[in-house]
Amino acid sequence: MSLALALDLPPTTALPVRVKPNSGEHVDAYIRRLAADNHMPPSVLIEILNGRIGYSSAVLRTDLLAILSGRSEQALHYALHGLPKTRSRQPAPAIPRMSSPQRPRRTHAEMRETFAAIRRDAAYERDITVAELARRHRVQRNTVERVLSDPTAQPRPEPSGSAAQRRISQSHAEVLEQLALTIDEMLRQQPYAPARRIWEVLVDDHQANLPYRVVREFISARRSIPCTAVRRGPPRRPRNKPTGAAE
């Protein structure tokens, strides 16, 4: 289920089934119980509480959890552990829309996903042009040509210490090691499956408490998508020589 559908839920209304938190229960387990009793995929409830794709209790909105669970923030902090500190209820200031030259630079992992999307679109849409791919994915034409001409092409590495090169924690590495065969099987059956969909399956069906960023980088490192030639324009029709023309 997409984030847009998840956010259709009124943020000021409690869920139909109210679940009492157990004393000493971790917030991860409580969120899963709350989602299961209300017949929701855990990934959908996580997106509502975080306001974005991905899972991390450090950015969880405690005020939204209190509203959806029908409990006060004080009661949740008293019963659960792993909750972040109480955040201000003041609405976040509106972020002005930036023009194209001012858009933030994409991370190395996001560019790897862009490269994979370019190859996927080129494989599915045989007649798409380089210019159309460049406009669709907001990259230069020479970048599209480099991606399609070299199946092993990778974006330039970011400087050391960047957010995209943060080390995966030991707990996340252990979970990924246990789910590596499952992820490889999903990639074998659906080579072009988005990382977002795989993250949802891991969270909902395999009870994996993994951030979307970690899953996305893990998939990007293991994915191998073949390159496909792209036409630069509509295919040309061969001209038929007139009957009796000289060779």
pLDDT in tens, 161-198: 444 335 567 778 888 888 889 998 888 888 888 888 89
Q: Where are the alpha helices (DSSP H) in the chain?
A: 3-6, 27-37, 42-50, 62-69, 73-79, 108-124, 130-137, 141-149, 170-189, 195-205, 212-222
pLDDT at 144: 92
pLDDT at 244: 56
- Round the average pLDDT of the chain to a whole number and report it: 75
Domain ranges of the chain: 3-81, 108-156+168-222
pTM here?
Answer: 0.49
pLDDT greater than 60 at residue 156 = yes
pLDDT in tens, 35-63: 888 988 888 888 788 765 555 545 678 88
